[in-house]
Amino acid sequence: MLDVCLLGTGGTLPLPGRHLSATLVRLGGSLVLLDCGEGTQVALRARGWGMRHLNAVLITHVHADHILGLPGLLLTLAFTGKGRDEPLTVYGPEPLEAVLKGLLVVAPRLPYPLHVVTLSGGESLPLAGIDGLRLACDVADHDDVPCLAYALELPRAPKFDVDRARELGLPVPLWGRLQRGEAVTFDGRTVLPDEVRGPERRGLRLVLATDTRPSARLVEFVSAGGTGADLLIAEGMYGDEDMKPARWESPHMTFAEAAQLARDGGARRLWLTHYGPSLSDPDAYLHRATSVFPATQLGHDGMTETLSFEQ
C-alpha cells in the first residue's frame, strides 16, 4: 500500500490555506517527498506522519516554489534525532546540486548524510533507503530550466501457490525466499520460483507531472506501455484557456489539458494541484476537467488517500 498526501497545492505564491507544491508518500514507515515549496515542513508536521524517516526528496525542477522549503526542512530534520546511519537522498535535474549547495549556506552542518542524485530523464532505479519502491522519471516541457515528471512504482510479487509448495514438501521457512524470486535447494533438488508462483501481477504506480506543457512524450510516460497510473497528480495552473497570460506562452497546463493527459495516458484517477494564485475558486472550473476525464478530483491541502493492490 502507498499512502499519498497533498501537503501543498499552490503554485508560484503561497496563499492563506494553500501551501506551495509538495506531495508526501508513505510506504510502511518510510517517507518520500515530491517537491518542497516554501513552508513545506509546516504542512509535513501537520500531517502527523513523522519526519525522521524521510528517506528521499524528489525535486521536479529548481524554481523557487518547488525547492525553497528545503533549507528549513533539512534543519528541522536535524532536530528529530536523524543520525549518521539515516541518510537523506535528494533527486532532481540540473542544476540541483549547485542550487542545493547555495541553499545549504544557512544549514552547513547536518548530523545525517545528505546525498544528491542528478537525473536527466529516462532513468529507472530503486529509491534509496526504501525497499521495494522504484523511481522512474522523464522530461517535462517547462520554461527555461530542466523539469522532470516522476513515477513511484511498487511492484507486486506473483501469487504464491501454497498447495503446490506443500505438494513439493517444501518447509515453510523456504517459502519467503521463493516468494521473493529466489531459487532454493531442498532434499537434493533445486526448486525455481516459477514452480510455486503464479503469473505476474500488476503493482501500484503513482505519477506526478507538474509545471509542463502537454506533450506526446509525457503521455507515453504516464501510460508506461499501457500500465497507466493508479493515480496521476497533475498541475492545473489555470481553470481554462482564458486565464493564461496573453503576453507570453505559459509553460503550464489548464484543467482540460491535465484531464487529456490522464485520459490519453490511461490513468485511473486524476488529482489536480499546483493552482495559480488567481485561481481562487477551482471548483468553478472542475467541469472543464471532468468533461474530458470524469475520474478527476480537485486536490486540496491535506488531501490523503491509500492506494492498494487490486484484488
Count of C-beta atoms within a 10 Å radius of residue 5: 21
Cell triple for 104: 545549504
- Three-state DSSP at 16 gives coil
- Three-state DSSP at 72 gives helix
Which amino acid is residue 63, in one-letter code?
A: H
Helices 216-223, 255-264: crossing angle, 10 deg rounding: 50
Residues 264-294 as b/e (b if ≥16 CB within 10 A, e otherwise) read: bbbbebbbbbbbbeebeebeebbebbbebbe
Which amino acid is residue 298, in one-letter code?
A: L
Cell triple for 219: 503521455
Told to judge if 281 belongs to the known catalytic residues of this protein, a careful annotator would answer: no
First vs last C-alpha separation in the chain: 12
Q: Would the CA dihedral through 191, 195, 197, 202 be positive or negative?
A: positive
Name the DSSP class of 238: B
Q: Which one is catalytic: 3, 35, 65, 281? A: 65
Q: Give the residue numbers marked as catalytic.
A: 65
